Amino acid sequence: GQQLNQSPQSMFIQEGEDVSMNCTSSSIFNTWLWYKQDPGEGPVLLIALYKAGELTSNGRLTAQFGITRKDSFLNISASIPSDVGIYFCAGRRGGGGNKLTFGTGTQLKVEL
Amino acid sequence: GAVVSQHPSRVICKSGTSVKIECRSLDFQATTMFWYRQFPKQSLMLMATSNEGSKATYEQGVEKDKFLINHASLTLSTLTVTSAHPEDSSFYICSAPGLGVQETQYFGPGTRLLVL
């Protein structure tokens, strides 16, 4: 099945640094969602974006819905050790149904 | 947010046996649920859409006779892996859309299946 391209694939950063990751698609999506997955657990919703150009924050997390509706980015400010995990973007098309297409994932590792 | 549970969380079975995984929406009703499979270090791949009161819709390449889905009620969907083989070993995750004008999806904690 189709997957969204997510970059970078992995990141190894220092605690306190800001993090940025993005997700791109060749087709348009009406909704962009960002999830975090810890090992052995299901994804947890971080931020949902519903309109092109929308910029939404959730604590230290900020995400934007690209103007073209083909991309989205997620920023994490002042990273802390518990930010470690895999971050997935997911897009939902319009036209009925609620199926999500997931990105390839960005693994974040935080060095103390 | 809405809570989705899965049972069991881990299961080990012998090759050739069948395994049933349950997905429940705990505090809301879900006419639709989704089943995903995730192999190690990979993303989630949608397997099928479970529809309450009607047949499930399977994604291309997913064998409907091998992965039986039953949406028995508005809060329960089950996935049965029939005649499991080692290559079916994976992390199976379900999700359900939350209620409201702007729907999002909430995921269960996943079920780790190991087929020996």
* pLDDT tens across the length of chain A (112 residues): 567 999 999 999 899 999 999 999 999 999 999 999 999 999 999 999 999 999 999 999 999 999 999 999 999 999 999 999 999 999 998 765 678 999 999 999 988 7
At B29, list the tokens: 């009703």
Structure confidence by residue, pLDDT tens digits, B25-69? 998 888 899 999 999 989 999 999 999 988 999 999 999 999 999
Structure confidence by residue, pLDDT tens digits, A25-34? 999 999 999 9
Residues from chain A that touch B103, judged by Cβ atoms under 8 A, are 98
Are the beta carbons of A42 and B93 separated by less than 8 Å?
yes
β pairing state of B10-13 and B111-115: parallel
A vs B: CB pairs below 8 A? 61
Q: Would you call B109 an interface residue with chain A, using a CB distance cutoff of 8 Å?
A: yes
List of E strands, B4-104: 4-7, 10-13, 19-25, 32-38, 45-51, 57-58, 67-73, 76-81, 90-97
Q: Would you call B35 an interface residue with chain A, using a CB distance cutoff of 8 Å?
A: no
